[in-house]
Amino acid sequence: MNSQQTLGTESVYKLLLKYSIPAIIGMMVNGLYNVVDRMFIGNIPGSGPLAITGLGVTMPIVTIILAFGMLIGLGTTTNISIKLGQGKKEEAQNLIGNAITLCIVIGSIITIIGLIFCDKILILFGASENTLVYAKAYINIILMGTIVSLLAFSLNHSIRADGSPKISAGIMIIGCITNIILDALFIFTFNMGIQGAAFATVISQTFTAILTMAYYLCGKSNLKFTKTSLKLNKKLVLGVFAIGLSPFSMQIAASMVQVISNHALKTYGGDLAIGAMTTISSIAMIFLMPIFGINQGSQPIIGFNYGAKQYNRAKKAYLASVTVATIILCIGAFIIQTFPEMIIGLFNKDEELMKISVEGIRIYLFMIPIIGISITGSNYIQSIGKAKIAMFLSLLRQVILLIPAILILPRFLQLKGVWLAQPISDFIATSITVIILVRELKSYKKASNDKEAYNKDIEDKNMNTELAIERDSEKLI
């Protein structure tokens, strides 16, 4: 029995474990890159509070770089899978070379524009005279490593499509461990400050890019890299952009929200409020990464069973994923509300920053126990092929509701209004998601009843036909 068939027959709970655990590990490793950087930067002796604030100012730029990584990486990975499914191996191989060229071209453009207009961009994104020096020291180095960052992200994803998810995960773990070791070495041993964190990130990403390139160059891959594939193919590039556009747009929207949030935080809470938000978002990331992993694991299970009209199995997969997600987030909420000083202390122990962060995290993440419904719900709708509704639900919580809330609430509630914007957005988005989900799941009962009625009708017709044949036979006799 092949893996596709098991999606429709094996226990839903076993499948969810099988598919989700590797995805959760991958997401946690990915998230640790940013979280560990922020932990080390926030604890730089003397300048930690302003350094982590400077880092917070650079986050929109980092998010934009990630957006282009998703545009190329996810677009390439999906297209490779499609081409292989169609038996077009040569086109699948050409996508590897095209991805490398796109990374180099787009990465070079981002680096040049970023370095030329660095000061203006950082001030636009919320830097002040006090934090600009830290933000600039960090982002200049990150910008110079944009090409290797895009290569590491894009090619690592393509290794999964090539049929080697374990190698892909292994390379990510090696990169993350390298980043952690270099962070400690550069920041505290060599006293390089925030620049040390940036160098650690770029070097670890370079190492990851080299390992991914080695996978394709050393004969271990199913798809082989050729120099001729570096020449951009318009049809392949458009195919990559068509699929990568959705996650790219989501990240660009996230960057825009970060910019708006930074300005509101700076206006109503000063520089340290941006540092507090950087810490709070890092803590949120720790608890949200497993949820995104669960989403990745449940997606093929839900999609296959919905396509096979096994609606109960699709529903069961969703209910299992949302239950696990809610349990994880409830544990997270308990830790956050009960021990905020302890968890914030991992990032910074400055008294003033601690005070702002504690108040902020208790309000900002107040609704975290219920957002698993919203996150897994939009994933469920996407998994069953309703892309437009899924896109609406994804944007609802973090863009459509959040941006107006950030712009309006602080006018009346000052800094507390900035913190309240997220839980209010979470509550409304979750409520709307529940309504859409209930309607969707109720439709399966109607579909099942219609199917049963149809089958009964067919059985009745068959029975009547058999009786008619018997009667005709008796007359003939």
Write out residues in the chain with pLDDT < 50, as ranges. 2, 453-454
Judge whether 454 lies within some domain: no
- pLDDT in the model for residue 475: 55
CA 317/CA 377 separation, integer angstroms: 12
Judge whether 175 lies within some domain: yes
What is the per-residue pLDDT across 80-93, written as a single tens digit (0 to 9) for each?
Answer: 878 887 888 899 89
Q: Which amino acid is at 36?
A: V
Judge whether 441 lies within some domain: no
Residue whose pair of structure tokens reads 């905020």 in the numeric block: 340
- pLDDT in the model for residue 474: 57
CA 35/CA 21 separation, integer angstroms: 20
Per the structure, the count of domains in the chain is: 1
- pLDDT in the model for residue 453: 45
Judge whether 430 lies within some domain: no
pTM of the model: 0.86
Judge whether 94 lies within some domain: yes
Residue whose pair of structure tokens reads 């529903």 in the numeric block: 315
How long is the chain? Answer: 477
DSSP 359-417: HHHHHHTTTTTTHHHHHHHHHHHHHTT-HHHHHHHHHIIIIITHHHHHHHHHHHHTHHH
Domain of 99, in residue numbers = 43-269
Judge whether 103 lies within some domain: yes
Instruction: Evaluate whether 432 touches 381 at the Cβ level (below 8 Å).
Output: no
Judge whether 149 lies within some domain: yes
Hey, what are 112's tokens?
């040049």
Hey, what are 69's tokens?
């990584």
C-alpha closest to that of 240 among 58, 32, 89, 100: 100
Tell me 1's DSSP state. -
Instruction: Evaluate whether 81 touches 161 at the Cβ level (below 8 Å).
Output: yes
What is the per-residue pLDDT across 389-410, written as a single tens digit (0 to 9) for each?
Answer: 888 988 899 899 999 999 999 9
C-alpha neighbours within 13 Å on the C-beta side of residue 68: 24
CA 344/CA 365 separation, integer angstroms: 13
Tell how far CA 23 is from the center of its chain. Answer: 11
DSSP 129-150: TTTHHHHHHHHHHHHHTHHHHH
Judge whether 370 lies within some domain: no
Tell me 225's DSSP state. P
| Angle subtended at Cα 373 by Cα 371 and Cα 377, rounded to the nearest 5 degrees | 125
- pLDDT in the model for residue 450: 52
- pLDDT in the model for residue 454: 46
